[in-house]
């Protein structure tokens, strides 16, 4: 055993602090530990005596320690050792000049990596001193402070920390601190698990206020840590990958997702499909599959930026093998997903988030987050006291939500709204995000009314105008400065390829002074030979994509009624009278190609009634249209008996409260149809969610269908009626055949219906049907507009039908399970221009029921099932 105790003082006194070697316990040969007992005045050592003693004990081969001592002697000869107190006391490690050591010798020893002992010779300047290396070392200079060892936190620990803190998102905005939740450093990419946990929390809540708080605090956390990820977070929370008008969609069917899920989780497609059938939610299947799978090496955690970027790449994949490439990208995401991430990855890919997070709630939360984020958004400087500050904050949040919602209705592009919020604040959003040519705004909509006298009452002392309401496709035509044209549907879908004849017509019929415009109009099927408007059913037979002008069999006429933009100037804030004048001055009319909507400006009741009669021409929509459409499809021509097909009138204010309100159903626009006077008023657009097998003559097809309206607040379809009338045999066969491919094994969790309803089959919500009915009634069986009926009316209904004996509830309690239903519903047509989420809302149903009670106070509700 080699004893080296006597060398300790020499070794530490000769070497500067930075070059002192690691503890000798790290050497490859066996030694005894040093004795660190400081002595006030150590005796000077003789280098020669040490050398002699060491040479006797060492072998012929020079050791690493010999090299160390040789270097020390060489340094001592060049510069004698000082006797300053700092050099004698080891507790005070003053930095010394590293040139006192022969650097060339150190380099030589560093080049040798055959033995671990070489590490002793490395300068420690790149390896900070650790406490265990020298227990009595005390740094003096800040530049020489030891660097703390970074705390290594694994992915599982971070997830656990995040899950323990995620509930803090429920806090009120004034009590929330983003730093309490974030488990990542500022500037780091936001982990996808953060969004997944927030969405999972939202799915377990039903209150609109608390959901808004969760989303607001989630967005504030992202703004505080990684604001550049905010656009991706908002898009994913809205379940989108791009603005609607860009037409960028994921384009993935369940079959591709199931295949990717099976490969990612080491399962067979049969196993996944079986579990999907049992659980009814592919997201839950993905979560269960990933949680039961172990992995040798876990991929890097998913980030929101990575997921969003991958979604966009999936949407852009086209051409040969595109489905295979999409599947592989999905597979890569699933392999890296953990905890509840697979569940929400799959739901986002299916575009079926269904957690009760409406886009309007997201927009309101975004505005509120901007208010709380004082770094980017400052309210107007009009606060005088702390109390005013509290009140002002509440008002500011409400105002900010309205500002963001309005900005999105004018410019529905998160890529522009979010950066504008972060850079200029919410209070300047109306200036930084305005109506832009080439980006469609949501169309302004009209509220239904039931008679001419009601119109006169609502528009007292106001100038208003009546226009024909045409039965076609709503369109917004954008003409660019470079002469290009884009046509968008009411859903902001790009329809330019569907209507090449319209592109030619507007380009030809605009006046030479017009350089750019946005036209709000109706595209209506038109027989130019007979100069007659065609039914919507005939218009719907046109091809949808890549239409060639030479192949067009159904011509269309542009019926223009509003101008939203002209020569670089937005007109949304102009009154209708001004917008209409600019419309008339910008185009030349040509019958059958481009015409202005027929109008009447009057407040005379008889005159308006005659105008309405002339518009609708006393036609029967459902029967006549279906017959004519069938004849057209069989004969390829339009029968002579056809009449002009207009739905009714649109009544608009002209010069007061007459601005254009995008995406809003306004009281300044009213619609009146002939059959409004005979029934409940407006027709309803409803979604078939289930069916009952037919009997007798209807054996082999579905005999009746369960229809639902859509509640956007809770993202659910609420049952409203069964329908079995209004079908011809051909139509019933067509609808049955179409829906058979949409059958699902069990109802979706976002279907709201009574347990007493037992359909034979359930459907994936895909179609929208326009339905008329005699009136609306409250019902314990259906769930439309659940809970909006007043308790007094419930009590009358219960007494009238002797239901108090069957239900042991008070009227207040019973109202919570009472919905609204339709009496004697009949099918008008299939609305191929609408998605299920654009069906009539529960709010509309409630409004129609309320208006019916006010207009017909003597009507009694009937709870009989239809």
Distance CA 740, CA 261 (A): 26
Please give the helix or strand (H or E) that residue 596 lies within, else none. Answer: strand 594-596
Catalytic residue positions, numbered: 469
C-alpha closest to that of 224 among 376, 14, 413, 359: 376
Helices and strands: H and E segment counts in the chain: 29, 22
Name 262's Cβ contacts closer than 8 Å, sequence gap at least 6.
268, 269, 271, 272
Distance CA 771, CA 192 (A): 42
Distance CA 553, CA 555 (A): 6
Written as six digits, the tokens of 807 are 């239900």
Written as six digits, the tokens of 169 are 């998102």
Distance CA 464, CA 608 (A): 11
Using the structure block, give the residue that is written with the tokens 């994949």: 317
Distance CA 8, CA 339 (A): 56
Alpha helices by DSSP H, listed for 373-473, are 386-410, 414-424, 429-432, 452-458
What residues are paired with 775 via a beta bridge? 823
C-alpha closest to that of 861 among 804, 825, 821, 830: 821
C-alpha closest to that of 780 among 861, 713, 707: 861
Asked if residue 652 lies in contact with residue 465, where contact means CB atoms within 8 angstroms, the answer is yes
Long-range contacts of 125-130 (CB under 8 A, 24+ apart): 125/18, 125/98
What residues are paired with 587 via a beta bridge? 510
Give CA angle at 712 (830, 523), nearest 5°: 40
Half-sphere exposure of 827 (CA within 13 A, CB side): 24
C-alpha closest to that of 542 among 589, 587, 487, 609: 487
Distance CA 364, CA 341 (A): 25
Distance CA 691, CA 758 (A): 9
Rg over alpha carbons for the chain, rounded to the nearest Å, is 38
- Letter string b/e over residues 360-374, b meaning 16 or more CB atoms within 10 A of that residue's CB: bbbbbbbbbbbbbbe
Asked if residue 235 lies in contact with residue 241, where contact means CB atoms within 8 angstroms, the answer is yes
Helix, strand, coil in percent for the chain, rounding step 5: 45, 15, 40
Written as six digits, the tokens of 505 are 């017509």
Q: Residue 100: how many CB atoms within 10 A of its CB?
A: 16
Give CA angle at 185 (179, 186), nearest 5°: 80
Q: Are strands 464-470 and 646-653 parallel, antiparallel or unpaired?
A: antiparallel
Name 512's Cβ contacts closer than 8 Å, sequence gap at least 6.
none
Distance CA 429, CA 222 (A): 20
Asked if residue 420 lies in contact with residue 432, where contact means CB atoms within 8 angstroms, the answer is yes
Could you tell me the CA-to-CA distances from 576 to 603, 606, 641, 657, 668 in Å, in that order?
17, 24, 37, 9, 11
Written as six digits, the tokens of 516 are 């750019």
**Exposed, middle or buried by CB within 10 Å (0-12, 13-18, 19+), for 238?**
middle
């Amino acid at each position: 055993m080699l004893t080296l105790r006597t060398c300790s003082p020499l070794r530490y006194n000769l070497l500067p602090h930075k070059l002192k070697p690691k503890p000798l316990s790290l050497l490859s040969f066996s030694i005894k530990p040093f004795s660190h007992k400081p002595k006030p005045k150590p005796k000077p050592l003789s280098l020669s005596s040490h050398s002699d003693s060491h040479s006797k004990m060492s072998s012929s081969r020079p050791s690493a320690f010999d090299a160390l001592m040789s270097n020390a002697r060489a340094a001592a000869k060049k510069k004698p050792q000082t006797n300053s107190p700092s050099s004698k006391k080891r507790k005070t490690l003053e930095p010394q000049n590293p040139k006192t050591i022969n650097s060339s010798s150190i380099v030589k020893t560093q080049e040798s990596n055959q033995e671990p002992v070489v590490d002793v010779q490395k300068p420690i300047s790149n390896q900070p001193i650790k406490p265990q290396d020298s227990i009595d070392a005390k740094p003096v200079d800040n530049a020489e402070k030891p660097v703390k060892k970074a705390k290594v936190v694994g992915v599982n620990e971070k997830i656990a920390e995040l899950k323990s803190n995620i509930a803090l998102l429920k806090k009120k905005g004034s009590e929330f601190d983003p730093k309490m939740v974030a488990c990542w450093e500022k500037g780091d990419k936001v982990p996808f698990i953060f969004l997944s946990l927030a969405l999972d929390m939202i799915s377990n809540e039903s209150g609109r206020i608390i959901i808004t708080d969760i989303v607001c605090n989630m967005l504030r956390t992202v703004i505080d840590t990684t604001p550049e990820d905010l656009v991706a977070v908002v898009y994913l929370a809205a379940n989108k990958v791009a603005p609607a008008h860009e037409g960028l969609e994921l384009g993935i069917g369940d079959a591709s997702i199931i295949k990717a899920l099976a490969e990612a989780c080491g399962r067979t497609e049969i196993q996944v499909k079986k579990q999907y059938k049992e659980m009814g939610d592919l997201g839950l299947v993905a979560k269960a599959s990933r949680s039961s799978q172990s992995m040798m090496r876990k991929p890097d955690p998913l980030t929101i930026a990575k997921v969003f970027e991958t979604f966009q790449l999936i949407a852009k994949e086209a051409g040969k093998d595109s489905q295979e490439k999409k599947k592989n990208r999905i597979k890569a995401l699933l392999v890296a997903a953990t905890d509840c991430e697979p569940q929400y990855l799959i739901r986002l890919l299916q575009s079926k988030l269904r957690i009760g997070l409406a886009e309007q709630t997201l927009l309101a939360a975004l505005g509120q987050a901007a208010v709380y984020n004082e770094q980017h958004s400052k309210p107007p400087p009009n606060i005088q006291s702390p109390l005013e500050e509290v009140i002002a904050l509440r008002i500011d949040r409400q105002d900010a939500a309205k500002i963001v919602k309005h900005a999105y209705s004018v410019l529905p592009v998160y890529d522009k709204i979010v950066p504008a919020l972060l850079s200029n604040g919410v209070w300047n959003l109306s200036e930084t995000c305005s109506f832009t040519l080439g980006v469609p705004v949501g169309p302004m909509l009209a509220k239904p009314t039931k008679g001419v006298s009601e119109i006169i009452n609502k528009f007292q002392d106001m100038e208003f105008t009546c226009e024909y309401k045409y039965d076609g496709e709503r369109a917004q035509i954008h003409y660019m400065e470079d002469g290009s044209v884009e046509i968008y549907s009411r859903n902001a879908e790009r329809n330019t390829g569907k209507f090449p004849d319209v592109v030619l017509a507007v380009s030809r019929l605009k006046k030479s002074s017009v350089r750019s415009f946005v036209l709000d109009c109706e595209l209506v099927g038109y027989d130019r030979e007979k100069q007659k408007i065609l039914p919507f059913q005939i218009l719907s037979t046109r091809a949808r994509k890549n239409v060639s002008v030479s192949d067009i069999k159904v011509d269309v006429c542009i019926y223009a009624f509003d101008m939203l933009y002209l020569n670089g100037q937005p007109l949304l804030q102009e009154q209708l009278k001004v917008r209409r004048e600019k419309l008339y001055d910008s185009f030349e009319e040509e019958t059958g190609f481009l015409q202005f909507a027929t109008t009447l400006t009057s407040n005379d009741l008889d005159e308006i009634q005659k105008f309405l009669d002339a518009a609708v021409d006393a036609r029967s929509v459902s029967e006549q249209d279906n017959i004519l459409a069938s004849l057209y499809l069989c004969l390829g021509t339009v029968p002579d008996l056809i009449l002009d097909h207009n739905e009714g009138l649109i009544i608009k204010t002209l010069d007061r409260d007459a601005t254009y309100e995008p995406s809003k159903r306004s009281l300044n626009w009213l619609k009146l149809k002939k059959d409004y006077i005979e029934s409940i008023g407006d027709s309803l657009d409803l979604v078939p969610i289930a069916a009952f097998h037919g009997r007798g003559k209807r054996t082999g097809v579905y005999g009746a269908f369960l229809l639902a309206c859509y509640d956007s607040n809770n993202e659910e379809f609420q049952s409203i009626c069964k329908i079995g009338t209004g079908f011809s045999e051909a139509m019933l066969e067509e609808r049955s055949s179409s829906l058979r491919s949409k059958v699902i094994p069990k109802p979706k969790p976002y279907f709201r219906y009574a347990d007493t309803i037992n359909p034979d089959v359930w459907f994936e919500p895909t179609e929208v049907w326009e339905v008329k009915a005699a009136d609306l009634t409250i019902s314990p069986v259906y769930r439309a507009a659940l809970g909006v009926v007043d308790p007094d009316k419930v009590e009358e209904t219960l007494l009238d039908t002797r239901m108090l004996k069957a239900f042991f509830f008070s009227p207040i309690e019973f109202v919570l399970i009472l919905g609204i239903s339709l009496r004697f519903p009949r099918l008008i047509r299939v609305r191929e221009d609408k998605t299920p989420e654009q069906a009539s809302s529960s709010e509309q149903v409630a409004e129609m029921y309320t208006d019916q009670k006010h207009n017909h106070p003597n009507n009694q509700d009937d709870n009989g099932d239809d």
